Chains A and B, each alone.
Chain A
Amino acid sequence: MTIKGKAYVAGAFEHPTRNAPDKSVAQLHAECAKGALEDAGLSKDDVDGYFCAGDAPGMGPLSLVDYLNLRLRHVDSTETGGSSYLVHVAHAAEAIALGKCSVALITLAGRPKSEGMATGTAPRQGNPAQPDLQFEFPYGPTVVNMYAMCAMRHMYQYGTTSEQLAWIKVAASQHAQHNPNAVLRDVVSVKDVIESPIVASPLHRLDCCVISDGGGALVVVAPEVMKNLNRPRVKIIGAGEAPKGQFGGDVDLTFSGASWSGPRAFAEAGVKPADIRYASIYDSFTITVLMQIEDLGFCAKGEGGRFVADGNLISGVGKLPFNTDGGGLCNNHPANRGGMTKVIEAVRQLRGEAHPAVQVKDCALALAQGTGGVLGSRHGSATLILERE
């Protein structure tokens, strides 16, 4: 049993807003849903499956299903942080393959910018029943310092440098200059990144992603639905997912869950890392990209620093064009969850609808990779491989 070729991404929409004090979160979800359905050439009444994660207000999918007034036969609210939406694409393909739905809608939206959330720098209080909380929260874990410890360990173990990490931001900024909706459109240099203030050592302000309002949506459909749609055919050919934690105290910060989800996706798709023409790689921080690139097999473990340096991730320049929309590092990180926009830009590339300045020529095979939660403690990883048919 495989999902290879069992479903297509027919609709993709990224909300153009990056700051939405005048809109509600539910409204943003609805606007994204409408945008993705229009992109696919489908209507609200065609939707029979709905997927959302923890950014959806209400109990699981229930409030938004009601708000959107959907009549469904399948729902899934799998929550693995920012990687949820890649998991949803895979789960939608599974549900479609089993005949449980034929038009699956996936939405994401949030307003961390206009709500003034200190996304990365304030320790987040959680539910006291969460078993790890009492052993971690008192020590001041934030998003950024928990990723920073991965970077610190990577530098110690493999000799990775701040300059090498900075190249990841440089590449994202080279792409973002062509995106009129991007939060940060100025091209930055390695020097700009390493001279920006340290937030949590060794990560600088410019090693971090943006904070933005907005959202996105995807429509995943069965082959019999796709054949009646007038859109380029983006086929789902492989998917993998893997959560990773602290292993009962055998903590290892040198790899991410992508080292498991990646090989699963490649095996299902029957392709190799060298076959991939474009990659969307989750970029909450520069170190997130570096570790996932290694774990997915684009280079050997520990070689990530050398691999990303000198523009190797810049479209038209390097061997692995990544995040050609500017990614979370420069373009958009709606609801503090970058997985949705990773899939959307991969779909644009496969359709030939990326900005001409960053469009990869003959882009027939793309990968989208997400992580969610916190890389330095516990996170989800999801890998998707998509093919232009």
Chain B
Amino acid sequence: MSIRKLPAPEANPETSPYWEAAKKGVLLLRRCTACGRAHHYPRALCPFCFSDRLEWQAASGKGSIYSFSVMQRAPVPYAIAYVTLEEGPTMLTNIVDCDFASLRIGMTVRLVFKPAEGGAALPMFTPD
């Protein structure tokens, strides 16, 4: 079976802590200390209240599938998904290491990392 090549995310000063943590196997969330809410994708200003008082927080890695689609018309089929994290935010990702036919909305999943080009690591999920 051929392997799907994963393009490298192009980090910038606002987001490099997220991608550096990913290389170490940690999924970081941004949590606002003004309004208390976590968001994704991470921003320098809270998208709910515009506060700049934000902390990085390690996600538990537990979540559930909000929606997904198996891309059949691709050189190597893959499953794109929105996963809702235990901490609240929903993130775009892939579901990997599973039988795609078994995927269901609501299924609980756990965090894994897959290597991308250029030495980056991408947070993905697999059925629990």
A binding-site residues for B, Cβ under 8 Å: 121, 128-129, 131-142, 144-146, 148-150, 152-153, 156, 197-203, 246-251, 253, 376-377
Contact = CB atoms under 8 A, between A and B. Distances in A.
A156 B10 CA distance: 34
A121 B92 contact: no
Given A138-B122, A140-B71, A249-B89, A153 B80 contact: no
B91 A200 contact: no
A238 B124 CA distance: 45
Interface in B40-56: 40-41, 43, 47-48
A251 B82 CA distance: 8
Given A131-B41, A137-B9, A250-B90, A149 B82 contact: yes
B15 interface: yes
Given A141-B80, A145-B71, 4 more contacts: A140-B78, A197-B73, A248-B40, A249-B88
A153 B66 contact: yes
Given A149-B82, A250-B90, A133 B67 contact: no
Given A152-B67, A200-B69, A140 B74 contact: yes
B67 A156 contact: yes
B90 A249 contact: yes
Nearest to B7: A138
Given A200-B69, A200-B72, A249-B38, A134 B92 contact: no
Contacts of A250: 89-90
A137 B105 contact: no
Contacts of B10: 128, 133-134
B70 to A, nearest CB: 4
Contacts of B106: 156
A202 B38 CA distance: 31
B39 interface: yes
Contacts of B69: 145-146, 148-149, 152, 200-203
Contacts of B11: 134
Given A141-B92, A149-B69, A198-B72, A132 B9 contact: no
Contacts of B126: none
Contacts of A203: 69
